[in-house]
A and B are shown apart, each in its own frame.
Chain A
């Protein structure tokens, strides 16, 4: 919609950019952005405006403000991964996905906040502080909120965004940008998408280039796309997907960008409901929503069947071992010598490295490095690392079997509950939280499959709840087509934020009303 507005001249790129920048300023309390690239964004907007005046926009994304998670390299802009280790690090290059967006004329507003090095499921463990879920300030949440005591601090009931791409999700949810990049290794794009009521797409591993994405787990990481609707996600996907010679883990097949058709007949679809996703701790609210969604498909004529992915419950343990092992390897590059933080200790190379890493990494990162190294010790390698790799194959095979039996798409919950208040979230440590929260999203990363969170309804507390669709490898078109159909049926409500109302013009409005 906004792209059409730009084309028709109803709004100018610079005006759009200014409005987004000023909205970022007035929603600063969300802490969604680590760096706001005001000057460069305005310049990009000006260039875009010139192109529109000449009638030569680069494409649909020309002039559209976007945000990028701070673990993607952005030339000339600080990239910190929310860690002391990279504070002050100015990337010398653009990640491929960033470059692609810029080449299309997108306006990069800034870098969004995350858990340190993308490790976490709350966006609470970065050095710049936690990200606040915009829905904490929505009329919908405030109306339903019952304070536990009279003396309770008014500001203490805000809820988390989920993570680790919380900043990106919050940025999209609060209308400060039209699309944002996240990353997804265990659910890091889908989890915050669910909590913030936005669409979060995890593409198939190998579809989108990871060049420039600071790696966590090389065999599972993917760039994630966060938008306010499925159509937008398809557009961004179309611009980012495809082989990159700089990332040899991208497949070489030709990728054809697609436009989503409006599915009217779902009778040929077979939707699988994996029973293991009825995980312990799943809230009764979400269970009911999941069931309602299944009925929606059934009533529309689709075939809805229960399926089994028996190794689901081992995906977190498996992830735990493989992730820490790959992290131990990937974090080894941070030694203070070529970039990033460097300790003043200079008695020897090794002691400098040790001191640098001691000063630069937080407990979560250090913990994973040490665990990873443990699992890879000679005496443990076979029993832990190799064992986990075998279990990984079993998990991946579960999906192959199910999709091979005629199921087209899997429908599952995305999270166990709606967003919890920050005060409650921090009572448990990062690893425990991640283990709990990732259970519904992690297996898709294990198997490399595409998955998407679609905002479905508001919980009793007035907070977003989303459902997840998992598709076959490289079948994003089918996945998104079904997701779009579902999105249309549920008509998820728009967030009602004071700040946005003040800045509101037709451009930011979307039509929905609560009805699911």
Chain B
């Protein structure tokens, strides 16, 4: 089953990464085909494993401030900033719909 354009579009939205060209879409198709091999394995009664350290207690430290005050250092790596703010373009504007944005999927 081929992945539909709707799903591809949806993925571009979720990932905020584009497929670039037909090779990109092919790559996903192949990846899914490859992953389908998982269904050959019988996993009845098997619990999913999140971490190999699941039998241990996770380390939690005391909620005390032990470091920080490095605003200037951290801001150094940002391109757009104003005083102590990172500056982002206007939010609340969704990524343009399929027909309106620059994407390989447009012609599909």
Contacts and interface: CB of A to CB of B under 8 A. Distances in A.
Contacts of A435: 34
Given A349-B93, A390-B43, A390-B47, A367 B27 contact: yes
A350 B95 contact: yes
> Which DSSP category, helix, strand, loop or mixed, fits chain A's interface?
helix
Contact of A317 (B38, B59, B60): B38
Interface stretch (A54-62, A368-376, A506-514): A368-376
A328 B60 contact: no
Nearest to B66: A245
B16 interface: yes
A314 B93 contact: no
B101 to A, nearest CB: 8
A320 interface: yes
B86 A337 contact: yes
B7 interface: yes
B31 A324 contact: yes
B16 A354 contact: yes
Contact of A338 (B24, B46, B78): B78
A370 B89 CA distance: 24
Contacts, number: 187
B56 to A, nearest CB: 6
Interface in B51-108: 51-53, 56, 58-61, 70, 73-74, 76-80, 86, 88-91, 93-96, 101
Interface string A252-278: 100000000000000000000000000
A296 interface: no
Nearest to A432: B30
B51 A358 contact: no
A47 to B, nearest CB: 23
A431 B30 contact: yes
A251 B34 contact: no
B46 A394 contact: yes
B39 interface: yes
A89 interface: yes
A311 B43 CA distance: 11
B48 A390 contact: yes
> Which 3 A-B pairs have CB atoms at the shortest separation, nearest pair first?
A448-B52, A389-B48, A348-B93
Interface of A: 89-90, 92, 205-206, 219, 243, 245, 248-252, 311, 314, 317-318, 320-321, 324, 328, 335-340, 342, 345-354, 357-358, 361, 363, 366-367, 369-371, 373-375, 377, 383-384, 386-394, 396, 429, 431, 435, 447-448, 473
